[in-house]
Amino acid sequence: MDCIFCKIIKGEIPSHKIYGDEHTFAFLDINPISNGHTLVIPKHHHENLLTASEEDTALVAKTVKKIANAVKKTFNADGVNILQANGTAAGQSVFHYHVHVVPRMENDGLHLWPPTKRIGHEAAQMAKAINKNL
């Protein structure tokens, strides 16, 4: 397999390791949004959240919480974004399930969500359509 994150886990590619246990691995992002921007990945390869096992998703979530608390404290951050992308259209560039833990400061200039509003009937139709696919 030619997965860069799998190679990082195996130690074939260097990384700045933050944490590792039997199931997960955390390391600094090579292109950070902020100081302390960390990636958390499962040690088993999954393309993204949608293909990952429920067990691996739960284990990653547990590690994400641990890392989020650590980076918030380390950098005295005002907040932390937990970000995850699935597929090219969503901005995923490495196809190994991973979660970004991004420490944030007030007025740091990073704007993730532009303000948009849905009118009532559009929102109701969308909710109904999504519910059908659960």
The 10s digit of each residue's pLDDT in 69-79 is 999 999 999 99
Which residue is catalytic, options 16, 45, 98, 111? 98
Can 98 be counted among the known catalytic residues? yes
Q: Residue 97 pLDDT > 80, yes or no? A: yes
Q: Can you give the pTM of this predicted structure?
A: 0.91
Going along the chain from its start, the domains and CATH numbers come out as 4-132 (3.30.428.10)
Q: What is the pLDDT of residue 60?
A: 98
What's the token pair of residue 15? 């990384």
List, in order, residues 6 or more apart from 45 with CB less than 8 Å away.
Answer: 1, 3, 5, 6, 96
**How high is the pLDDT of residue 113?**
78
pLDDT on residue 127: 87
Q: Give CA angle at 33 (30, 39), nearest 5°.
A: 50
